[in-house]
Structure 1
Amino acid sequence: MRKKFLQAGVLQLLLAVSLISNAQPHTTGEQDRAYWAGLLYKMAGPVIFNLANGTLKKNMPLEKAPGYALKAEKVTYLEAVGRTVAGVAPWLALPDDPTKEGQMRKELRTALLKGIANAVDPSNPDYLNFRSEQQVLVDAAFLVHGFLRAPKALWEPLSAQTKTRLVTELKALRTRAAAYNNWLLFSGLTEAFLLFAGEEPDPVRLQYAQNKMSEWYEGDGWYSDGPHFSMDYYNSFVIHPMLTDMSKVLLDKKRMKADQYEAVVKRMVRYSEFLERMIAPDGSFPPFGRSITYRTAAFQALGQVALMEQLPDYIQPAQVRCGLTAVMHRMYDQYSNFDKNGWLVLGFCGAQPEVADYYTSTGSLYMATLGFLPLGLPADHAFWKDPYTEWTSKRAWSGKPFKKDYKVSY
């Protein structure tokens, strides 16, 4: 009897805790946005402010994965800069305003413009390497991805000298060939940016990236990463976002047909459905595949679809906001993802250097900023203004109606 009584008491206590928890009000979109902005500012600040001061190489720690195989001093700083720029660009593209968030954006944008000039100035301590190593093909592409995402905020204000220097560095990349996988998009996107900037691109690199990605499309929103399929997050880390934005440049320059571009977008939209469903009710998501130290970059494609206002009808903007906010709280609130000076540390959810890949160092980790693209939507957008909305798996695992999933044929 005593055992049954105790069991009943425990069950009643758990039920009471559950009811109290469920009765707590959910955060508003305004609160979510303030959390996102503060977290991105915390993450990007050390990279951007140090670059502006010419102290990035001096102050950024150099943590390397076990078995690291690259020349970190030649690649990690461009990794940090390129990836950070690609992630913060949509947010920095918003106009200035007197809010706290507006002040943070203005600080970052002002410092970043100064930092970009430093990055291509051979006399500056933070002059970045574009001239050697294969890895720089990757991170030059992330850098120009940021320019394409925020041309008026990050490209047009640069001085003529800085633009010329940057173009020269980008053209110097042509001495190296991309690997036969998603890397083709790094060369392709860089050439697309040169086309955007009024330069003559290498048509072979552009066409090859476009043709091979079309060939490697497996169906239902998934691309193969080269000739062989890999079950990881590279469709989100690289493939869909870069292919879409490369294709947009080609469309605007009349080097791609509208139906080709529309197919690329539809495939990213379909892939984003999978990402939305991967967010568990508690905000966790599966840690499978390589490069999981890129953390929230796993949701870049979903964030970009939201930013482009291309979400499927059954996925409301607010449910993406709430799902991604849950991911951020689950990942960044409970464990130490930053060192004492605010730099990201190797790991997935906390300090876990053992899960880092042989090409991962401190600079690599700033892919995580790519999960914040919806901050480029203004504060009065439905993404931020609509009330709390449950995401698909939260509805599914609480006995509520949710949309069945079917494959698509495009």
Structure 2
Amino acid sequence: MKRRDFMGVIATVAGLVGASGAVRAAPLFKQDGSQRAYLVDLLLKMALPVLEAMSKGQLKKTFVLELSPRWAEGLDPRVSYLECFGRLMSGIAPWLALPDDDSAEGKARRHVRELALQSFANSVDPASPDYLAWRSTNQTLVDSAYYTNALMRAPKALWEPLDAVTRQRIIEEIKGVRRYSLPYNNWLLFAAMNEAWLFSIGEQGDVLRLNAGVRKANEWYAGDGWIKDGDAFHYDYYNSYVMWPMLLEILEQAEKASVAVFYEKPEGLLAQTLKRTQRYCEHLERMVSPEGSYPAIGRSLTYRTAAFQPLALLAWRKKLPESLPEGQVRAALHAVHKAIWTNPSNFTKEGFLTLGFAGHNPQIADVYSNSGSMYIASNGLLALGLPATDTFWTTPSLDWTQKKAFSNQPFPKDYAVNY
């Protein structure tokens, strides 16, 4: 589909795209007042500037990086483009996996998928200007895992349509990432994710690397739905960014591939991990204030709505706990998205994400943060992998816990669990 045809499908006002190519503040996707339409529009705002540039081999040319004011010496900014693409794709992959149809959303999805497939090809083509920094620093390991997570979340949409040369190049690059050393923390799960993906496509993954990530994450379990990040407990959102989603999906693939974990079948460990993830999701839902704000705590706060990745993931998988009805979770997540994304300074005039939290605020960025890192926020959109007809979207909205509590409605008390 040509660009002008696509924009004709989804634009709501004339002149949506300016002469510079910058996306204006008007919605990209026609708004009907639904929470789903709002999120589709947000997804397109994140994805189109990146994928339209990268599909042409022009991402590095057009995406001017914003580095943390405290950028650490020795970090290689070239890996930022892998961060941008890998993290973005991990969040939008479930939406791209939905079947094509002739609705406005279906036509938009088909267009974005075509851009994504060409971008994957460019990402591993040494002749492309957008060949990514696979041989940079060990930060490559981190974002290779989001890259493979995207392929694992939507294999029929993003992996199988790729040509044989591109598929083999990706396999070689992912195996090559084994060259990087592993810090003794959440990074063990990045290595395990890559191996789980290799198993998922019929390649021989490294069982030791997969086992190490799973085993240490379980040893670090602190109780009541929280995992330590290494030997120390951190009160932040890394349980959302990394620990629970990756552990759960790694174990799912281990079960499918019949890969032993701790010399045992993974089924029991997977069931336990799901229960613990559900418990963590109960905490996340309770963090949403009546207005949709949530505690600004810990490292990597600029990752914005990625803090709610586990809730969106379990919603997509239809595995929310009974304590969290779909209408309640959808309403809470919508309030969070509105609280974070209402400020237009979250995006540059060219349409790329900025450093910040509820707007452009680079002073809160960590030493490793760059504007490419911000695209992990797309993982707050995983529930878009459910079709518009799913009960997650059609069931009536319900007040979430804090909204009930502060309006003097009955709400459930909360007690620690021992599983």
CA distance in 2, matches of 1:296, 1:29: 23
Structure 2 equivalent of residue 193 of structure 1: 197
Task: Confirm whether residue 289 of structure 1 aligns to residue 289 of structure 2.
Answer: no
CA distance in 2, matches of 1:96, 1:204: 39
Output one character per residue of 1:181-208: Cα deviation in whole Å (capped at 9) or x when no partner. 0000000000111111111112221111
CA distance in 1, matches of 2:79, 2:343: 31
Q: How many residues align?
A: 383
Task: Confirm whether residue 36 of structure 1 aligns to residue 39 of structure 2.
Answer: yes
Q: TM-score, normalised by structure 2?
A: 0.89
Contact 1:62-1:362 within 8 A present in 2 as well: yes
Superposition deviation, residue 334 in structure 1: 3.4
Contact 2:302-2:374 within 8 A present in 1 as well: yes
Task: Confirm whether residue 175 of structure 1 aligns to residue 172 of structure 2.
Answer: no
Structure 2 equivalent of residue 252 of structure 1: 256
**For 1:4-403, what aligned pairs fall within 5 Å after superposition?**
31-69=34-72, 70-255=74-259, 256-403=265-412
Structure 1 residues 257 and 334 mapped into 2: Cα distance closer, same or farther (>3 Å)? closer
Contact 1:29-1:386 within 8 A present in 2 as well: no
CA distance in 1, matches of 2:33, 2:418: 38
CA distance in 1, matches of 2:94, 2:209: 26
Output one character per residue of 1:13-70: Cα deviation in whole Å (capped at 9) or x when no partner. xxxxxxxxxxxxxxx9971100000011101111111110100000001100012125
CA distance in 1, matches of 2:225, 2:183: 23
One-letter code aligned to 1:41: L
Query: What SS does structure 1 have at the residue aligned with 2:82?
Result: helix
Contact 1:72-1:361 within 8 A present in 2 as well: no
Contact 2:245-2:313 within 8 A present in 1 as well: yes
Superposition deviation, residue 94 in structure 1: 0.4
Query: What SS does structure 2 have at the residue aligned with 1:328?
Result: helix
Determine which of 407, 416, 419 is the counterpart of 1:407.
416
Superposition deviation, residue 74 in structure 1: 2.2
Query: What SS does structure 2 have at the residue aligned with 1:362?
Result: coil
Query: What SS does structure 1 have at the residue aligned with 2:251?
Result: helix
Structure 1 equivalent of residue 11 of structure 2: none
Superposition deviation, residue 405 in structure 1: 1.0
Contact 2:124-2:131 within 8 A present in 1 as well: yes
Q: Percent identity?
A: 47
CA distance in 2, matches of 1:387, 1:201: 44
CA distance in 1, matches of 2:107, 2:182: 39
One-letter code aligned to 2:292: G
Superposition deviation, residue 314 in structure 1: 2.5
Query: What SS does structure 2 have at the residue aligned with 1:94?
Result: coil
Query: What SS does structure 1 have at the residue aligned with 2:372?
Result: helix
Superposition deviation, residue 390 in structure 1: 0.8
Superposition deviation, residue 73 in structure 1: 3.5
Q: Stretches of 4+ moved more than 3 A in 1?
A: 70-73
One-letter code aligned to 1:141: A
One-letter code aligned to 1:274: H
Output one character per residue of 1:378-404: Cα deviation in whole Å (capped at 9) or x when no partner. 111111001221111101110001111
Contact 1:74-1:133 within 8 A present in 2 as well: no
Structure having the higher helix fraction is 1
CA distance in 2, matches of 1:320, 1:102: 25
One-letter code aligned to 1:270: R
CA distance in 2, matches of 1:105, 1:270: 33
CA distance in 1, matches of 2:279, 2:55: 39
Query: What SS does structure 2 have at the residue aligned with 1:218?
Result: strand
RMSD: 1.3
Segments of 5+ residues of structure 1 without an aligned counterpart are 1-27
CA distance in 1, matches of 2:408, 2:104: 40
One-letter code aligned to 1:52: S
Query: What SS does structure 1 have at the residue aligned with 2:410?
Result: coil
Greater relative contact order (Cα < 8 A, sep 6+): 1
CA distance in 2, matches of 1:178, 1:50: 32
One-letter code aligned to 2:247: L
CA distance in 2, matches of 1:116, 1:30: 34
One-letter code aligned to 1:206: L
One-letter code aligned to 2:282: E
CA distance in 1, matches of 2:358, 2:251: 34
One-letter code aligned to 1:165: R
Contact 2:401-2:411 within 8 A present in 1 as well: yes
Structure 2 equivalent of residue 24 of structure 1: none
Segments of 5+ residues of structure 2 without an aligned counterpart are 1-30, 260-264
Structure 1 equivalent of residue 23 of structure 2: none
